[in-house]
């Protein structure tokens, strides 16, 4: 039970608070059905999970009972499953379509109670009543757009080391506060290179002229520092090579076999070279990187422009596409663009920060995308 819910309903006892949370979950289940091809029946799963497994959600519109999940809910923690009876399907359909009278009728309906041990028979019943098998979290969507560094390849760590090497020396020589790991996530991760330079310098009260893209790495300009960092990054790639995260190619191939169009949207100007080095480039239908963004005049993340451009190139509206990101700026871009699903991949940013930035769900590995069945925003 959340502290916010206790503040919202101070007169309620524990049973009243639990019932209020239950009703909120039923409403969230209804809103989820609006963009998922699933049985038209609300489902509420009651589970006992450690407090450490959830995180608070930000934003003025969130329900006071809502929390984010740091990890998928394990079935051995489930206490009960509550599901609409089959006869409620038409009212659910009407409520999703905006029929307020149907919504009020649903509020008066009791959901049926099932013990966790009844899950196999309940799943079979729901499958029989489903027009199209959902298959996975991504099944309803035609297009899947991936960030690169930290999502497909562990190159985010190489970027972090390059930025650290650059700014450790640069800041030390100017008497500024030293570069910390948290600075990467706060000011740099997911942003176009030169925007990251500006943001980090601004955090130390420093400014530099913008310079030109062709500035040499030793130039005292934003572009010069950005090019110096890029030189450190490309040298590390040349020396050590690049390998995708284990299982990444299998996930991509399975999505392609399911007729998904796949794209990469990265702020890095090195995206195509990294994909080629990792042996992944042939699996993608479109690559929108920092160079494409500059050529097309696209604003970088957290603006949604690069993701929107990729979706259009693949013939999809934003609502038909999924954005998969490990950076706060990238998640915020996906949310701002109105994409059908925004998935955060927690490689160190933190599940709470990703959810607060707008992720619908947070996973620790891409393999979870093929089996994950819960919406992480409630």
Which of 27, 84, 147, 346 does the annotation list as catalytic? 147
CB under 8 Å to 146, separation ≥6 — which residues?
Answer: 152, 262, 263, 264, 265, 324
Which of 27, 149, 289, 346 does the annotation list as catalytic? 149
Q: Is 289 a catalytic residue?
A: no
Q: Is 149 a catalytic residue?
A: yes
Angle at 72 between CA 18 and CA 52, to 5 degrees: 65
Q: Which residues are identified as catalytic?
A: 147, 149
């Amino acid at each position: 039970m959340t502290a916010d819910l206790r503040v919202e309903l101070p007169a309620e006892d524990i049973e009243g608070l639990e019932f209020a949370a239950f009703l909120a979950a039923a409403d969230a289940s209804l809103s989820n059905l609006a963009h998922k091809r699933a049985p038209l029946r609300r489902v509420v799963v009651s589970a006992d999970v450690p407090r450490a497994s959830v995180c608070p959600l930000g934003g003025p519109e969130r329900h006071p009972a809502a929390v984010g999940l740091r990890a998928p809910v394990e079935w051995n923690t489930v206490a009960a499953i509550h599901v609409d009876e089959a006869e409620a399907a038409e009212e659910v359909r009407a409520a999703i379509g905006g029929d307020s009278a149907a919504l009020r009728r649903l509020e008066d309906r009791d959901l049926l109670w099932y013990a966790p041990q009844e899950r196999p028979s309940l799943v079979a019943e729901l499958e029989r009543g489903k027009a199209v098998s959902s298959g996975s979290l991504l099944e309803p969507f035609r297009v899947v757009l991936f960030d690169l560094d930290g999502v497909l390849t562990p190159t985010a760590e190489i970027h972090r080391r390059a930025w650290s090497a650059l700014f450790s020396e640069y800041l030390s020589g100017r008497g500024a506060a030293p570069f910390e790991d948290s600075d990467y996530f706060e000011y740099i991760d997911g942003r176009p290179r030169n925007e990251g330079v500006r943001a980090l310098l601004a955090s130390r009260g420093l400014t530099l002229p913008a310079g030109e893209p062709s500035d040499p790495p030793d130039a005292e300009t934003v572009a010069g520092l950005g090019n110096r960092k890029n030189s450190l990054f490309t040298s590390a790639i040349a020396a050590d090579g690049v390998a995708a995260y284990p299982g990444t190619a299998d996930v991509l191939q399975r999505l392609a076999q399911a007729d998904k169009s796949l794209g990469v949207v990265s702020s890095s100007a090195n995206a195509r070279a990294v994909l080629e080095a990792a042996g992944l480039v042939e699996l993608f239908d479109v690559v929108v990187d920092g160079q494409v963004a500059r050529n097309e005049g696209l604003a970088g993340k957290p603006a949604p422009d690069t993701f929107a451009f990729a979706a259009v190139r693949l013939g999809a509206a934003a609502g038909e596409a999924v954005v998969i990101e490990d950076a706060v700026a990238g998640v915020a871009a996906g949310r701002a663009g109105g994409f059908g699903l925004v998935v955060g991949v927690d490689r160190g940013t933190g599940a709470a920060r990703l959810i607060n930035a707008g992720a619908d769900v947070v996973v620790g590995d891409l393999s979870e995308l093929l089996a994950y069945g819960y919406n992480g925003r409630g």
